[in-house]
Structure 1
Amino acid sequence: MTQETPSRPLQQVLLGIFVLLGFGAIFCMYYNPTTSWFKCPDAAVSEYNVCTEACLSFLEVKNQTQTINNCTVNDTLVEVKELTTKSPQLDKKDSADSSEVVILVWSWPFGQTFDLESCESGYGIKGCRLIIDRNRINEAHGVMFHVRDIGGDVPYLKTLSRPAWQNWVWMNMESPTNSPQLPGMDDMFNLTSNYRTDSDVWVPYGHLVEASEEDKAFQIPQKDKLVCWIVSHWEDKLWRVEYFNEFSQHINVEGYGRHFGRYIDNKDYFKVMSSCKFYLAFENSVHKDYITEKLFNPLMHGTVPVVIGPPRENYEKFIPADSFIHVNDFKTAKELAEHLKLLDQSQEMYEKYFAWRKHFVPKLSNFGQEHACLICNHLKRNKNFRVFKNVNAWYWG
């Protein structure tokens, strides 16, 4: 039996199909299409970057709006090459989300590490990637520099040629009195992240949040001490030390910490604080908005803070007026001591300092982690050009 040959029309059809397939392969290999209808969905790409049948069916759908470059058609498979590189240059893993913002933490603030994967779980901020590897600096949209830790790096930083789209963020939580200026870097930062309310990214030491039903059941802890102070940093020239020396002549103060020779560990720190009716929340220096954990720790643990710091009006921007006692409210340290003794004799008067706990609860900020995440969130929301001129003049005045 002789084999039948295909009819001429069928031969022409088959020839046409092969010609079209060949032309398609050449087109994908050399033309690098940029039209917006030629990308496989992510779910259709295997671990070897090969499009499966789902990809082929996707290609049959008209008016797709995504792009892929450097495809190779091979019968029923489409090999997916890496997407066109954009600035900043992310590796393949990082490029999964084009809206993702990358923040390089130049160094751990004070050497304290934190979770780099915490922005979404801790602060509800999506699309942020925190990295610590300086070799990846060219990937970062922003670089967070902790001012206290970069002194030795300044000469090297001045040699870098950073991309125009990259933001350098001046980050600091120490007061001007206890912070180093950075000669030669005064105009090298784009943004500031600080406890001051006029910084670009404001991160206070603490703040009050709405109380839950459980929080509203707050009870004042049992007290067996009148006034306490836990302190290690002691300098006779500090105003808080001068004030304490006068104040302690008129009232008994339970002193703890290295200076008083009564060291307490972290386990006992808050136990001691909550056992005192009043706690001396004396800042080591007085500056605008410089209100630290020295205030928020006693508020959290059921003790009335007696503060030295910026004026009362500054405190009242952040906490209720009847939640603390300011030394400036009294003409002398003796007058303050007499007032505390009076409150000690009146439980009703004392309890008024906790009326705010029915509505709010104190919360401390997470030092480096919160800065990095909020910096990322700021850059996601503000993509405009920004340079902070004369950061030294702004902070040190």
Structure 2
Amino acid sequence: MMLKTNHVLIISIMLLGIGVLTYIYYKPSIELASYVGDLSKPKVDVCTEECLEAVKAENDQILKDCLVNDRMSQEKAEDKVSNLETKNENQRDFEAEILVLVWVWPFGERFPFDTCEPLFGVKNCRITDDRSQYENAHGVLFHLRDIYNQIPTLKKLPRFPLQMWVWMNNESPDFSPRLSDGEDLFNLTSNYRRDSDIWSPYGRVYKATEEEKAFQIPKKDKLVCWIVSHWDDNFPRVKYFNELSKHVNVDGFGNHFGRRISNEDYFNVIRSCKFYLSFENSIYKDYISEKVYNPLVLGTVPVVIGPPRDNYEEFIPQNAFIHIDDFKTPQDLAEHLKLADQNQEIYESYFDWRKHFVAKLGHPEEHACRTCEYIRMNRNFRSIRNINKWYFG
């Protein structure tokens, strides 16, 4: 009996040892999830200690990613708020009224204050000639011909850092005064030249409305006309006219021809001619004056002396005018004009452009209105250091 008891004890000790060794070398797995009494649920996978370490590392990375994403989301949200505030501020600035002070009326001729929006689509622009508003003005318009001899007085005016002084001029360099000791006064230029800050040409060609496309050539009773008062035998246009008039009849009007006409008659005369001599008094790039746009508006073909044809074609359809450079001599031009007079098809071809476009004269207030537009749209610093060099070369 004793022997049997010892055997049982020995076996129990051995089993206990085996259990301890098993526990040491094969630790029981820890379930990540458990279930009680519901055998219908699938048993969840278990994870070893190495697995737990990996899970912990992955969770740490997830946590870090979450924190980073949270910071990025917060920064994006702050950026959105900032951008929205900036956008709102810009919108308020864009909608704010711009005040332009006309220092002196160009050649003493006033222009309307309230046409910027209906004529040019420029909103919230206020134009004034009240110099007491000088301190509040965003821009001050100075007409060159009226202020060129007032530079010492202008230099005594207080200058405000954000206020723009605008040099305005639509005369060619040959008929414009140079500034003396005023080279650093101005921030912007407003001129007929395309490279000026504020482009204000003598006229423009626009897309025609359906009503404007129904254009009819006015009745004509003259072949070639010219209205001129400023006469100088040394002008290229005068020399060319003297040769041209030897080969074709030109009806002359104006002081030089002793046939002064009123403003109303001026337009009626141009309208009554098949061709009009749009001869500029000086030749410079982009200098295309009302001498060209008036005939285009009134239904007459301009014959031009001025910059090269390529320059005209930047602004005017190529078949809307005749350039003297198209012909070798004034006599050749005269023969062509007489041919077009006899051939209606040739003459009407000069109006094909009117099926799509219409010409309109510029307005004196465009300088002021476009100044409003420029100041509203451009916030960059601008200064003209040598305006004489820019304009006179």
Conserved in 1, the CA contact under 8 Å of 2:98 and 2:372? yes
The within-5 A match list for 1:273-288 is 273-288=270-285
Alignment-derived partner of residue 161 in structure 1: 158
Supply the distance in 1 between the matched residues of 2:379 and 2:209 (Cα, whole angstroms).
36
TM value normalised by structure 1: 0.74
Supply the distance in 2 between the matched residues of 1:272 and 1:373 (Cα, whole angstroms).
32
Supply the distance in 1 between the matched residues of 2:247 and 2:157 (Cα, whole angstroms).
58
Q: State which drifts further: 101-110 or 112-121.
A: 112-121
- Tell me whether 1:354 sits opposite 2:351 in the alignment: yes
Q: CA deviation at 1:130?
A: 1.0
- Tell me whether 1:235 sits opposite 2:236 in the alignment: no
Which residue, 322, 327, 330 being the options, matches 2:327?
330
Residues 1:298 and 1:98: Cα distance change in structure 2 (over 3 Å): closer
Which structure has the larger Rg? 2
Supply the distance in 1 between the matched residues of 2:218 and 2:117 (Cα, whole angstroms).
35
The within-5 A match list for 1:378-389 is 378-389=374-385
Alignment-derived partner of residue 193 in structure 2: 196
1:179-237: CA deviation from partner (whole Å, max 9, x where unpaired)? 00111111211110110000001011001111112211111111111100011111111
Supply the distance in 2 between the matched residues of 1:275 and 1:322 (Cα, whole angstroms).
20
Supply the distance in 1 between the matched residues of 2:252 and 2:338 (Cα, whole angstroms).
18
User: Deviation above 6 Å: which 4+ runs of structure 1?
Assistant: none
Alignment-derived partner of residue 143 in structure 1: 140
Conserved in 1, the CA contact under 8 Å of 2:305 and 2:323? yes
Supply the distance in 1 between the matched residues of 2:247 and 2:356 (Cα, whole angstroms).
35
- Tell me whether 1:371 sits opposite 2:362 in the alignment: no
**One-letter amino acid matched to 1:220:** I
Which residue, 190, 202, 205 being the options, matches 1:208?
205
Alignment-derived partner of residue 34 in structure 1: none
The within-5 A match list for 1:12-161 is 99-161=96-158
Q: CA deviation at 1:178?
A: 0.4
**One-letter amino acid matched to 1:362:** A
Supply the distance in 2 between the matched residues of 1:149 and 1:139 (Cα, whole angstroms).
23
Supply the distance in 2 between the matched residues of 1:135 and 1:152 (Cα, whole angstroms).
22
Please report the RMSD computed on the Cα atoms of aligned residues, expressed in angstroms. Answer: 1.9
Q: Please state whether the residue corresponding to 2:127 is helix, strand or coil.
A: strand
Q: Please state whether the residue corresponding to 1:259 is helix, strand or coil.
A: helix
Supply the distance in 1 between the matched residues of 2:125 and 2:299 (Cα, whole angstroms).
36
Q: CA deviation at 1:274?
A: 1.2
Q: Please state whether the residue corresponding to 1:374 is helix, strand or coil.
A: helix
Supply the distance in 2 between the matched residues of 1:121 and 1:335 (Cα, whole angstroms).
45
Residues 1:323 and 1:121: Cα distance change in structure 2 (over 3 Å): closer
**One-letter amino acid matched to 2:321:** F
Alignment-derived partner of residue 87 in structure 2: none
Matched residue count: 304
1:142-169: CA deviation from partner (whole Å, max 9, x where unpaired)? 1111101102321101122301111111
Unaligned runs of 5+ in 2: 1-93
Supply the distance in 2 between the matched residues of 1:268 and 1:214 (Cα, whole angstroms).
26
- Tell me whether 1:257 sits opposite 2:261 in the alignment: no
Q: Please state whether the residue corresponding to 1:152 is helix, strand or coil.
A: coil
Q: State which drifts further: 126-135 or 295-304.
A: 126-135
Supply the distance in 1 between the matched residues of 2:356 and 2:118 (Cα, whole angstroms).
25
**One-letter amino acid matched to 2:146:** D
Q: Quick check: which one's helix share is greater?
A: 2
Conserved in 1, the CA contact under 8 Å of 2:95 and 2:124? no
Q: CA deviation at 1:122?
A: 2.8
Alignment-derived partner of residue 390 in structure 2: 394
**One-letter amino acid matched to 1:157:** L
Supply the distance in 2 between the matched residues of 1:178 and 1:135 (Cα, whole angstroms).
32
Alignment-derived partner of residue 318 in structure 2: 321
Q: Please state whether the residue corresponding to 1:322 is helix, strand or coil.
A: coil
Q: CA deviation at 1:388?
A: 1.6
Q: Please state whether the residue corresponding to 2:338 is helix, strand or coil.
A: helix
Supply the distance in 1 between the matched residues of 2:112 and 2:229 (Cα, whole angstroms).
29
Q: Please state whether the residue corresponding to 1:315 is helix, strand or coil.
A: helix
**One-letter amino acid matched to 1:394:** W
Supply the distance in 2 between the matched residues of 1:192 and 1:141 (Cα, whole angstroms).
15
